[in-house]
Amino acid sequence: MPAVALISQSALTHNLSIVKNKSSAKIVAMVKANAYGHHLDLITPLIKNADILAVSGLSEVQKLRQITSQPILLLSGVHSSQELQQAIDLKCQIVIHHPAQIALINNNTQALSVWLKIDTGMHRLGLSDDEYQHCLSSFKSNSLITIECVMSHFACADELNHPMNSLQLETFEQLTSDTINRSMANSAAILSNPASHFEFIRPGIMLYGASPIADNNYNLQPVMQLSAPVIAIKTIQAGTSVGYGATWVADQQTTIAIIGIGYGDGYPRHAKNGTPVLINDILCPLVGRVSMDMITIDIGNATVSIGDTAILWGHKKLRVETVAKYSNTISYELLTGISGRVSVVSGE
């Protein structure tokens, strides 16, 4: 019996309604990385009323185009005339974030919709002030090119009081004061910074029910519930170690349940001793190292049988944000890291 990731349709719909309650801007639903690990084919039908879907690379556009005729935004843009032609054939809108892309787009002979991405402080992708002005003036004389929107990305949106947030917003507003369509907000900014919403918002992680902001889940509901079966149970004596490296030693007699999920499925190997696992409605601590195919949990006196189901995350008592914290990572990495061995199935 493999580990299962159950995808809740109603949770996704609920989270989308939270997005809409927060802002009346148009919605760019972020479905990169196979819809944050939730599988494009399961998620796409649930976000039919998003205004546009965004993915990172052309291979993702190809997969997405097979299942929807909705507008698609290609975040990485294109880097050769072949890629440009592919993007046009797939009818996607293209982000331009680098000066090398400006000439490439300008030489094209077909009608094309683009988004311009400017760097307001992230210093990763995006045109500088000068490059942006150059881009605007060179596209102005090209009737084939439609500039749909000007966008930028926050570096620190999840830290509500970080000074970068207002600095980036100010820079963005200055550069785009005469722009009709603008887009800046990811999930953290949608939840916390209405001044950043503009005309298009770009929710990602919040659609999937994880909060990007510590200590506040904003009533978001987990979309993915990851579970796996109990495959063995054993009682061990005080002083007995469990797992690779014998790193955990029982300080009293206790009962260990072995769960059929490990880092080969995407459960984080760095999950610490004490990371909670929900079994028969009781939170039990992970003990010992995570193996490729299994983990060990201390169930104490709880009543547990072989074949019972353990929930690893995606429950109101055990959110993925908690597991991420115990694993020194973020929910994004855990959700996108589910391996091909896990069966991802659609549920109510």
Ligand X SMILES: *Cc1c(COP(=O)(O)O)cnc(C)c1O
Which active-site residues does the annotation give? Answer: 32, 244
Beta bridge partners of 315: 318
* Contact predicate 53/44, CB 8 Å: yes
Q: How many residues bind ligand X (CB under 6 A)?
A: 13
Answer for which of 34, 101, 176, 187 binds ligand X (CB under 6 A) is 187
Instruction: From 100-108, 130-138, 202-210, 268-276, give the range in contact with ligand X by CB under 6 A.
Output: 202-210
Which residue, 191 or 278, has its beta carbon nearer to ligand X?
A: 191
Shortest distance, position 202 Cβ to ligand X, whole Å: 4
The DSSP string of 242-292 is ESGGG-EE-SS-EEEEEES--TTTT--TTPPTT-EEEETTEEEEB-S---S
- Is there binding between residue 186 and ligand X (CB under 6 A)? yes
Phi-psi region of 35 (alpha: psi -120 to 50; beta: other; left: phi over 0): left
Q: In three state form, how does the secondary structure of 61-107 look?
A: HHHHHCCCCCCEEECCCCCCHHHHHHHHHCCEEEEECCHHHHHHHHC
Shortest distance, position 203 Cβ to ligand X, whole Å: 5
Shortest distance, position 32 Cβ to ligand X, whole Å: 6
Strands 248-249 and 241-242: antiparallel
Cβ atoms < 10 Å from Cβ of 68: 16
Instruction: From 61-69, 180-188, 229-237, 265-273, give the range in contact with ligand X by CB under 6 A.
Output: 180-188
Shortest distance, position 154 Cβ to ligand X, whole Å: 9
Shortest distance, position 106 Cβ to ligand X, whole Å: 23
- Is there binding between residue 37 and ligand X (CB under 6 A)? no
- Is there binding between residue 222 and ligand X (CB under 6 A)? no
* Contact predicate 188/216, CB 8 Å: no
- Is there binding between residue 182 and ligand X (CB under 6 A)? no
Tokens of 131: 């490059």
Instruction: From 170-178, 185-193, 227-235, 264-272, give the range in contact with ligand X by CB under 6 A.
Output: 185-193
Q: In three state form, how does the secondary structure of 11-33 look?
A: HHHHHHHHHHHHCCCEEEEECHH
- Is there binding between residue 205 and ligand X (CB under 6 A)? yes
Answer for which of 37, 77, 204, 268 binds ligand X (CB under 6 A) is 204
Answer for which of 37, 212, 268, 288 binds ligand X (CB under 6 A) is 212
- Is there binding between residue 152 and ligand X (CB under 6 A)? no
Binding site for ligand X (CB under 6 A): 30, 32, 75, 153, 186-188, 202-206, 212
